[in-house]
Structure 1
C-alpha cells in the first residue's frame, strides 16, 4: 500500500499470452478462474502442505529479528531510542515527509473536484510555525482503533470520480495499546502528529491518552497477556466503562491481563469467570492516560502467547480474513494488501514495515530482489522455489504464497479484482476482498505478467 502505484496493485490481468493457463483452469460461475469451493477451505491447503506443523522460527529468533528490524529499517521507529528532547528539524522532517500539498486533481465522495482553496488550507492547518526549537519528548497510548491521516482532516479525497474506496489522505490505522510519541498538534488542536513504531502521521486527539514514558513503553512488556488470533474480536459491552465497551481488537494485538482483581467480584457490572479480564488504556477527560479492566469472552479467538510460526498457522490465520472487504490504509475496520500480510504474521509475533514499498526491500527481512535485467527464466525459477508464506511483491501490491495445484502456485491476497482473457475476450471480476487466486497466469498489463513485474520475494525464515 502506497499512493502512486496503489491502483496498479489491485487489478489482475490475464491476456492472450496466458491463454493456455486460462483454458486449463476451470471457470466456475463466480468467474474467479481456477478457484472452486474446495480452494476456499483452508483444509484443502493444509492437506497439501509438507510438514505443516514444523516450527519455522522460534520465539527467541523472532524477537531478535524484530529488534534488528527496528535498528536497520528506516521506515520503523524505535521509541525506546528517542532522545528526551526533540529538535525542531526532526519534527518538521516527520511532518513534511508526509504532509505535502497534492499537486494533482482530487475528487470528493460526490465526484466533485476538490477546490484548490480547500487543498491550500491544509498547509496552515499543520501549524508548522508553532513547532518549538526543542521540546520534551511526550508519549501516549492508542485507546481505540484509530485512522492515521496524511493531514489533520477527516476529508476523504479520491484520484478518480466514482472511486470512493481509496482515500488518498488515509495512511493506516493503529490499534489499542500501540505506543506513540506525541510530537505536534494541528492548528485547531483537534489532531496530533504521532510517531508509532511503524508510522508517523496525524490522528484525532481523542484516540490518544498521554502518559509517562514508563507507563507507555512499559505497557507492551506487561505479562501475562492475551494475543488476539481472530481476524477481529470485540470486548464485552459495558455501560459502566464506555471507553472499553465493544472495543475492536485486530489480529495480532497483544493486551495484558489485569492484575490484583478479586476473582469473585464483577468487572464493569459483570462476572468475569467466563472471560479474560484485560487491562486496556483509556483517555481521561484531561487527555491523560489511565487503565481500565475490560472483558474479552473466553470463547473468542485469542491465545496466551503468539502462535508458533508454522505453515499451518500461516494458512489458518490468512483464511480468517477470507472475504473481508478491501480497506485501503486499514479503512472500513479492515485492511489492505500489506496490512493483511503483516497482521497475519503479527499473530505469530513477527513485526513488519507497514507499506509494500518498505516491506519489499527492508534490510531487516530476508528478500530476493529483481530488476528489469532479470530474465524470465530467473523469475520462473524463483516462482518454482516459492514456499508457503512467502510474500511476492509487484509495484504497489503483495501476495502470500498459499500452495500448489498440479504444480501451479496459488496465492491469497487482498485485491480489488482480476481480469483474464477467455475465448479471446477479456473478462473482469470485481473482488475487492481477501481472495484466493492462481499466480502464474496473472498479468500486470497486456504484455507483462505479474511475474515479469515482480520486484521482490520476502521469506520470513
Structure 2
C-alpha cells in the first residue's frame, strides 16, 4: 500500500509540472551565442558597404547629430505634442512606485510645474554632462499600467522615453517652473530631462566640440578618466566624443562638464586604445561581429532604463559605431533609412525567402510592430537574427496573456519559441508578424517586394 501511495505522489507531482521547463527558449540554448562563430558561414558581398558610401553616411550622421545646435525653435517638440503627453496620462493615471493608483493631484502638480503657458520659454543650445534619461513628463517617479505588472510580466515604466549618453548635443526648449526640469530635443527624440544633467553651450564651445573628428566607444561600461586617473563618466558602445589624440595605449577625448554657472566646459579624458576608435569604424563582417559580441547577452532595458538597451537602442548604438544614422523608434528605423521592402501579406515561407535573398548580413533590419531585429545571415540555409528581446507572447487555455521571458540580446532564428506549447500563435510568432525589411547599405529606396 505504501509503495502505491509513493508512486501516486510522484505521478501527481509530474502532472503538476514539478519537472521544470527549460529556463529559456530552444534557440538560445542551441544556437551559439557568439557572432564570430558564424563568420565563415555567412555568405554575401566581400565588401558589403563600400568605403565611399560609408563615408557619405558618416557625414550625414554628423549633420543630423548636430542639427539641434543649428535650430532656433523646437523641431519635434511642438507645444501640441508636449500637451498631448499630459492628456494621455490624464486618461490613464496608472500606478506609482508604491503600487497605489496615482491620484488626480499627481498629474495636476506636474502640469503646474511644467508651466506650458509660455512654451517655449528658454530656447538655447546645451549638452548632456552625464548619462541621463528623457521622460514623457517632468518626473522620475514611474507610471505603471497596473499594480502588479501586465501581460509583459513586468511593470514597465511608461514614462521612460529614452536614455541619452553624456556628451549628447541638445536643444533646450523649455524650463519648468521650479527650474529642475527642461524639455529638450536631441537629434533622435525629445522629452523632459533633469536640469542637473546638462549644461548650456556657447558659440566657442560648439565650434570646438563640432570639430569633425570623433571617437566612438567600442566597449560597454568603459570608464573615462582624467589625466590623474579620476573618474569622469561611464561610456558604452556607440557613445561619441570629440577625438583629441592617440598615444601610449590610450585615446584622448573631450568630455563636457558644467562649470559653477551651468555653462559647458571641456575636460580631457582618456580611455584604453582598444575601447574606442576613430568614427566611423570600417564596416567589415569581422568588425560587425566584434561589436555585436559586445552586446550579446546584455539584459533588456525598456527605454534604456538601468543603463541598458531595448531593441531599437541596441540597433542604434550598433550602427553608430559605423557612422550609420538611425532614429530612436523601431518603426522609424525601418522606414526612414536605406531601402524599405514591404513584407506585409506574404506567407512565412515567402518572407524568409526574400529575407535570405535580399538581406545583407549585419546591414539589414527586420521589423514587426514594436520590435526591430538585425539580420545576421543564413548559415546552413536558416535565417538568423540578433535582437534584444523582452520575451515571447504566450496565451494559456483560459486566454490569459503572458510572456516567456528572454530579457536579453540574443541570436535566434525567425521563429524563436516555436517549441512552446502556450505560445500565442497569432501574436507570438516573429516571422508571421514581420512586416518589413530595410537594407541600410542601399543607396536608393527599393520598391516593395512583390
Q: What is the TM-score of this pair, normalised by structure 1?
A: 0.77
The answer (yes or no) to whether the contact 1:152–1:202 under 8 Å persists in 2 is: yes
Q: Does 1:354 align with 2:328?
A: yes
The answer (yes or no) to whether the contact 1:229–1:302 under 8 Å persists in 2 is: yes
- What is residue 188 of structure 1 aligned with on the other side? 178
1:154 corresponds, among 127, 137, 140, to: 140
Rate the CA distance shift 1:308–1:438 in 2: closer, same or farther, 3 A. same
Q: Does 1:433 align with 2:420?
A: no
Deviates more, 1:151-160 or 1:225-234: 225-234
User: Offset of 1:98 from its aligned partner?
Assistant: 4.5
Query: Unaligned regions of 5+ residues in structure 2, if any?
Result: 1-20, 396-400, 442-450
The answer (yes or no) to whether the contact 2:215–2:242 under 8 Å persists in 1 is: yes
Structure 2: distance between partners of 1:145 and 1:123:
26
The answer (yes or no) to whether the contact 1:179–1:216 under 8 Å persists in 2 is: no
Q: Does 1:227 align with 2:216?
A: yes
The answer (yes or no) to whether the contact 1:322–1:434 under 8 Å persists in 2 is: yes
- What is residue 351 of structure 2 aligned with on the other side? 379
Rate the CA distance shift 1:414–1:117 in 2: closer, same or farther, 3 A. same
Q: What is the TM-score of this pair, normalised by structure 2?
A: 0.79
Structure 2: distance between partners of 1:87 and 1:442:
43
User: Offset of 1:168 from its aligned partner?
Assistant: 0.7
The answer (yes or no) to whether the contact 2:44–2:360 under 8 Å persists in 1 is: no
The answer (yes or no) to whether the contact 2:394–2:424 under 8 Å persists in 1 is: no
Structure 2: distance between partners of 1:193 and 1:445:
39
- What is residue 15 of structure 1 aligned with on the other side? none
Structure having greater relative contact order (Cα 8 Å, sep ≥ 6): 1
The answer (yes or no) to whether the contact 2:342–2:435 under 8 Å persists in 1 is: yes
Classify the secondary structure of the residue corresponding to 2:112: helix
User: Offset of 1:417 from its aligned partner?
Assistant: 2.2
Rate the CA distance shift 1:439–1:66 in 2: closer, same or farther, 3 A. farther
1:25-424 counterparts in 2 under 5 A? 30-36=23-29, 39-50=32-43, 54-58=47-51, 60-64=53-57, 67=60, 78-79=67-68, 81-83=70-72, 86=73, 91-93=78-80, 95-96=82-83, 98-102=85-89, 103-131=91-119, 137-163=123-149, 166-216=156-206, 218-223=208-213, 225-236=214-225, 245-258=231-244, 273-298=248-273, 300-362=274-336, 364-371=337-344, 373-376=345-348, 378-385=350-357, 386-389=359-362, 390-418=364-392
Structure 2: distance between partners of 1:427 and 1:112:
22
Rate the CA distance shift 1:460–1:214 in 2: closer, same or farther, 3 A. farther
Rate the CA distance shift 1:60–1:221 in 2: closer, same or farther, 3 A. farther
User: Offset of 1:256 from its aligned partner?
Assistant: 2.1
- Return the index of the structure with the highest Cα Rg: 2
Rate the CA distance shift 1:452–1:36 in 2: closer, same or farther, 3 A. closer
- What is residue 436 of structure 2 aligned with on the other side? 456
Q: Deviations over 1:209-235 (max 9, x none)?
A: 101245236513253x42211133111
RMSD (CA atoms): 3.4
Structure 1: distance between partners of 2:74 and 2:391:
45
Structure 1: distance between partners of 2:211 and 2:51:
19
User: Offset of 1:237 from its aligned partner?
Assistant: 7.1
The answer (yes or no) to whether the contact 1:236–1:297 under 8 Å persists in 2 is: no
Structure 2: distance between partners of 1:202 and 1:171:
9
The answer (yes or no) to whether the contact 2:122–2:175 under 8 Å persists in 1 is: no
Structure with the bigger percentage of helix = 2
Structure 1: distance between partners of 2:361 and 2:249:
36
The answer (yes or no) to whether the contact 2:250–2:270 under 8 Å persists in 1 is: yes
Structure 1: distance between partners of 2:440 and 2:46:
16
- What is residue 445 of structure 1 aligned with on the other side? 424
The answer (yes or no) to whether the contact 2:25–2:416 under 8 Å persists in 1 is: no
Number of equivalences: 405
